[in-house]
Structures are given as structure tokens and as C-alpha cells.
Amino acid sequence: MKPWSPHDLRRTARTNMARVGISDEIGEEVINHIKPGIVGVYNKYRYDKEKQEALQKWEGFLLKILKTKPGVKTIT
């Protein structure tokens, strides 16, 4: 296995957020990317509720992956 960094986990999370239907706008907020251009100047909304929902959806996706692996026990 090639060496990896925490940034690889961030990239994997962001990629799979799109996979499970989280919008680009919310996905970018979750990973705290700076909004470009005029949007970054005028849109100061923090999207807290939307980020919470997105992270819960991401958690569900991860749990589904773990539950399909034989012999893997999840913490409940």
C-alpha cells in the first residue's frame, strides 16, 4: 500500500459525499474550503444544519460499508 496522509481521508470523504448525494456547496462547506470570488465575499452563512445532515449521511454510508465486511464489528 502506498503511503497516505490525512489529506487522502479528506479527499475520500469529499468524493464520497458527492456519491451519496450531498451537494457540492455543502460538501465544500463540510471540508471548510473557502468560497471563491463574489460568493465568498457576500455569502457568510455557515450552513450548520446542512453540514450536520451531510455528516450524518456520510456516517450512514460508512456504517453500511462496515456492515457489509464479514468479521468487522462496529461500535454502537
Residue 38 predicted with pLDDT over 80: yes
Q: What is the pTM of this model?
A: 0.81
Domain locations in the chain as residue ranges: 6-67
DSSP string, the chain: -----HHHHHHHHHHHHHHTT--HHHHHHHTTPPPPHHHHHH-----HHHHHHHHHHHHHHHHHHHHTSTTPPPP-
Average pLDDT on 42-66 reads: 96
**CA–CA separation, 16 and 73 (whole Å):** 22
**CA–CA separation, 11 and 31 (whole Å):** 9
